[in-house]
Amino acid sequence: MTLGRLIRMLWPPVLLAAVLIGGWQLVAEYAIKNPEVLPTPSQIVSAGWGQRRAIAHNAWPTLRETELGFAFSFVLAWVLATAMDFSPAARRAVYPLLVASQTVPIIAIAPLFVVMFGFGIGPKILLVALATFFPLAASLAAGFANADADADRLMRSMGASRWRIFWTMRVPGALPFFFTGLRVAITYAIGGAIFAEYAGAESGLGIYLQQMQQVFRTDLVFATVAVIAIGSVALFTLTYLLERWLTPWRKHERAGREVVR
Amino acid sequence: MTAEFLLETRGLTHEYPRTGQPPLQVLDALDLQVREGEIAAVIGPSGSGKSTLLNILADLDKPTSGEVHVGGGRGVAYMPQKDLLFPWRTIEDNAILGLEVAGVKKKAARERVAPLFEEFGLTGFEYAYPAQLSGGMRQRAALLRTVAMDRPVLLLDEPFGALDSLTRTQMQLWLAETWQRHGWTIVLVTHDIREAVFLADSVHVLSPRPARVTRRFEIGLPRPRNADTFALPEFALLERELLDALLNVSA
């Protein structure tokens, strides 16, 4: 990507963000005038910078819970979606549970997990997995199901086994679907970890948020929220990089037919 | 099997069971004989059971009764109507799909298909993705994948059916020329009377369901065939005769 294109792509979001932050600064500074209600962006930045060690100290456990929970969710989604692809009975058995898992309110179940599994990292991993599992498994299952029946016939006429067809045709064909699910899931991941910490933890951004709310440090609450948002956007961006790397053919599909005869 | 024929079906009959009704008979004692090195076109009215016949010849389905013999015992190489090139594989890696499935290592398979690219007009596109190719090129790539499987008979299901008229004619000319050098044994299922007469050595006309071979035409047009073939008086006569036969069976 050329620098010119990068600038053309980036100026609208940057401009909009600048306008919003500028407006916020004016409203907070001249209309509200109470940092406990609404601190100015500059106050948030300086407070956050002042407490950067505390925030970083609490960010690591949250990041770790997010990573491990997401990894667990990822593996489980592939195992179940694969089982569902191979066996219609497994599909009928698992799919309703999958949907049900998505409807479980995390806020309700988080305290129960703490009661059952304690204050350690275990219940957090489970909650992140619960929050992210459905979009991963469902998108992957949809990707497998979308495979062309004629491609299946072609490979069978070549003498390919069910596994060979799965790896050679169904998995690569499902990847674009999977990345869509991955992007949805990853935005739930950090949120899931924060919720889990609310229900009980020793450290983490969720705990830090709670503590700062109790002492009316609204500026630090906002600073923490900003860190969470930046982290989520970074993970989201990562999925795009991963997608570009793992599905290099897609950019040609998007570009359309470039070459003729 | 008779040594005369490389592919032969004897009394192929196929029925699909239906609930609450007698089974649907699709093929009725169908006999098809294809000599080594010939192009045999199979043509018939739509709904005549061509796809059932294709499935049985490609060994994707077993006939209710009857037999298929393919010389060499390695079955046919099947090219479906859609090109079915995998969008995530380069043209080269699409071309080796059949060899990979047969257990040939990737590197060896690539070496084996490499010499074919020039003939198929795909030189320089080895590492392109299918989305970068035109319709005619994609169809040639699909045919390359079929040929690369190195099976005794090629089974082509309306290979040029989805192309525009000019591209289709170019592909027919190209196939006639390329076939001249290789002498592949081809079963060509088509709807296109002109294509059948231009490419084939024998044309087998199917009846409506349940399908039998009602007529067999020998196409004695001189080889090599090229654009001039279209202008031969015999060409027009054969086209006319075949049209009559198809109109008769459809009536």
Q: How sure is the predictor about B249, in pLDDT bands with cuts at 50, 70 and 90?
A: confident
Q: How sure is the predictor about B46, in pLDDT bands with cuts at 50, 70 and 90?
A: confident
Chain A contact for B220, CB < 8 A?
no
pTM, two decimal places: 0.87
The proportion of chain B whose per-residue pLDDT surpasses 90, expressed as a percent, equals: 88
Sign of CA dihedral B82, B87, B91, B96: negative
* Chain A to chain B Cβ contacts (< 8 Å): 74
User: Which H, E and C letters describe chain B, residue by residue?
Assistant: CCCCEEEEEEEEEEEEEECCEEEEEEEEEEEEEEECCCEEEEECCCCCCHHHHHHHHCCCCCCCEEEEEEHHHCCEEEECCCCCCCCCCCHHHHHCHHHHHCCCCHHHHHHHHCCHHHHCCCCCCCCCCHHHCCHHHHHHHHHHHHHHCCCCEEEEECCCCCCCHHHHHHHHHHHHHHHHHHCCEEEEEECCHHHHHHHCCEEEEECCCCECEEEEEECCCCCCCCHHHHHCHHHHHHHHHHHHHHHHHHC
- A70-82 average pLDDT score: 95
Question: What's the whole-number average pLDDT of chain B?
Answer: 93
Which of B80, B88, B137 is the closest to A154 by Cβ?
A: B80
Interface of A with B in 62-91 (CB under 8 A): none
Domains and CATH numbers, chain B: 1-75+154-251 (3.40.50.300), 82-150 (no CATH)
Q: Residue A5 falls within a domain, yes or no? A: no
- A2-9 average pLDDT score: 86
Chain B contact for A148, CB < 8 A?
yes
Give which of A166, A173, A248, A168 is closest to B97, Cα–Cα. A168
Distance of CA A208 to the CA centre of its chain: 21
ipTM: 0.91
Q: What is the pLDDT of residue B1?
A: 46
Chain B contact for A251, CB < 8 A?
no
Q: Do the chains contact at B88 and A173, CB–CB below 8 Å?
A: yes
Residue A111 is given by DSSP the state: H
Q: Which residues of B touch A160 (CB under 8 A)?
A: 101
Give which of B83, B227, B45 is closest to B163, Cα–Cα. B83
CB B12 within 8 A of CB B66: yes
Q: How far off is chain A from B58, nearest CA to CA, in Å?
A: 6
Residue owning tokens 């065939």: B225
Q: Residue A23 falls within a domain, yes or no? A: no
Residues B113-138 pLDDT 10s? 999 999 999 999 999 999 999 999 99
The proportion of chain A whose per-residue pLDDT surpasses 70, expressed as a percent, equals: 97
Q: Residue A9 falls within a domain, yes or no? A: no
Question: What's the whole-number average pLDDT of chain A?
Answer: 91
- Residue B186 β-bridge partners: B39, B154
Give which of A86, A87, A159 is closest to B60, Cα–Cα. A159
Q: How sure is the predictor about A179, in pLDDT bands with cuts at 50, 70 and 90?
A: very high
Residues A201-242 pLDDT 10s? 889 999 999 999 999 999 999 999 999 999 999 999 999 999
Q: What is the largest CA-CA distance in chain A?
A: 75
Q: How sure is the predictor about A25, in pLDDT bands with cuts at 50, 70 and 90?
A: very high
Q: How sure is the predictor about A261, in pLDDT bands with cuts at 50, 70 and 90?
A: very low
Q: What is the pLDDT of residue B72?
A: 75
Q: Residue A14 falls within a domain, yes or no? A: no
- A103-116 average pLDDT score: 86
Q: What is the pLDDT of residue B251?
A: 67
When divided into structural domains, chain A yields a total of 1
Q: What is the pLDDT of residue A255?
A: 66
Q: Do the chains contact at A172 and B86, CB–CB below 8 Å?
A: yes
- A51-68 average pLDDT score: 95
Q: What is the pLDDT of residue A258?
A: 47
Pick from A93-107, A152-166, B10-24: least confident: A93-107
**Containing structural domain, residue A127:** 39-249
Helix, strand, or coil (residue A183): helix
Q: Which chain B residue's Cα is nearest to A251?
A: B131
The domain that holds A187 is classified in CATH as: 1.10.3720.10
Q: What is the pLDDT of residue B142?
A: 97
Residue type present at position A13 = P
Would you say residue A96 has pLDDT above 50?
Answer: yes
Pick from A27-41, A168-182, B62-76: least confident: B62-76
Q: How sure is the predictor about B3, in pLDDT bands with cuts at 50, 70 and 90?
A: low
Would you say residue B13 has pLDDT above 50?
Answer: yes
Interface with A, mutate which of B120, B132, B167 (most A CBs under 10 A): B132
Q: What is the pLDDT of residue B2?
A: 52
Q: What is the largest CA-CA distance in chain B?
A: 57
Query: Phi and psi of A187, rounded to 5°?
Result: -75, -20
Would you say residue B29 has pLDDT above 60?
Answer: yes
How many whole angstroms separate alpha carbon B91 and alpha carbon A204? 50
Distance of CA B191 to the CA centre of its chain: 12
Q: Which residues of B touch A260 (CB under 8 A)?
A: 134
Residues B62-119 pLDDT 10s? 999 999 999 877 889 999 999 999 999 999 999 999 999 999 999 999 999 999 999 9
